[in-house]
Chain A
């Protein structure tokens, strides 16, 4: 197997992209689930506020999604730019 510098860099970039997106997906997934769980609980207790609660949940989830999107950006940079 002919292993050269550029090849090693590429291989490491691919591996890094996979690990970045894989590990980066854990936190947002769990965190958004917790937000949804609490929102369900709140609607269960106070169904009249369903609209407000759904909106709040989505805003909170959008914020926790951001680190997942950072991971995606880094993974795509590693794949296509490096």
Chain B
């Protein structure tokens, strides 16, 4: 239980910080702007509500006494705590841009709100991945598995999805911010801007999906009992590798997507060139994320 409280405290601390940052981005208020700010904040807040749910469960559920239980509690707390950071901050970006856009162009409020909601929803997906992994960790019966190396697989699974969600939440938020900004400047370009936004966001989500994949393998593969230190360390390292490795590419892809969407809004006739360049640039940025996935899979299956 002590470990569970540590995980919960970390989760709540991180999410409070990210929610505050998101709120700080939306200072203007009056009528529609205020309403949209509240909706945007509610979405940014949802990531921290996920974390709160997990924290409450860690604190108030009676978990079976087993050697692996402390690891499960720490992993679930870390997973949801880290996982909520990116989505909380990322959802704040489009909400802030939508509020500013409404102040400039009140007549496109409806279209802007739709765009903001779609963009923020995509930003939330990594937090939802983390929530799913936390729930699976909490409700899977690990007591039938050998203590070593399962302890490391549990920690690795939590760390992979948790850290892996940070970059994708942030990157998706950058793209959505540019699209809200673009719709406000050029309401006529709303449809292509929303489409390219979704394409760019989808690419930023890929590294979070790799991290989710590694978490699932770590949780559901059965590993042979071992007395050695090396096999559990390989599993822990694979979670760390994929989790940390997912952050950078997703943020970088978010930069590329943000710029492409912003320029499509200004210069719609070059949508084909810009989309192609965005995808090529994102593909190159993705490469280090793929290296991380390869190293993580080698750590699980080969060594």
Could you list which residues of chain A lie within 8 angstroms of chain B, going by C-beta atoms?
1-3, 7-8, 10-12, 14-19, 21-41, 43-45, 47, 50, 53-54, 57-58, 61-62, 65, 68-69, 71-72, 75-76, 79-80
Contacts and interface: CB of A to CB of B under 8 A. Distances in A.
B270 interface: yes
B280 A54 contact: yes
Given A1-B148, A22-B244, A40-B256, A14 B291 contact: no
Given A1-B148, A15-B233, A54-B277, A43 B263 contact: yes
B245 A25 contact: yes
Contact of B252 (A12, A30, A58, A69): A30
Given A22-B292, A25-B246, A79-B295, 15 more contacts: A7-B230, A8-B229, A14-B237, A14-B303, A17-B299, A19-B244, A21-B245, A21-B292, A25-B288, A29-B250, A29-B252, A31-B252, A41-B263, A50-B277, A79-B298
Nearest to A10: B230
Contacts of B240: 15, 18-19, 22
Contacts of B148: 1
Given A10-B230, A50-B277, A18 B256 contact: no
Nearest to B266: A44
Interface in B270-284: 270, 273-274, 277-278, 280-282, 284
B54 to A, nearest CB: 24
Most A C-beta atoms less than 10 A away, residue of B227, B229, B251, B270: B229
* Most chain A beta-carbon contacts within 10 A, residue among B233, B239, B243, B282: B233
Given A25-B244, A68-B287, A43 B274 contact: yes
B267 A11 contact: no
B291 A40 contact: no
Interface residues of B, number: 61
Contacts of B266: 44
Nearest to B167: A29
A2 B139 CA distance: 31
A-B residue pairs, 4 tightest by C-beta? A33-B252, A36-B281, A18-B237, A44-B263
Interface of B: 148, 167, 227-230, 232-234, 236-256, 258-260, 262-264, 266-267, 270, 273-274, 277-278, 280-282, 284-289, 291-292, 294-296, 298-299, 302-303
Contact of B233 (A14, A39, A45, A57): A14
6 contacts: A11-B232, A12-B233, A14-B234, A18-B295, A41-B263, A43-B270
Contacts of A25: 244-249, 288-289, 291-292
Given A25-B248, A33-B252, A33-B256, A11 B288 contact: no
A52 to B, nearest CB: 12
Nearest to B247: A26
B272 to A, nearest CB: 10
Contacts of A57: 277, 280-281
A65 to B, nearest CB: 6
A79 B303 contact: yes
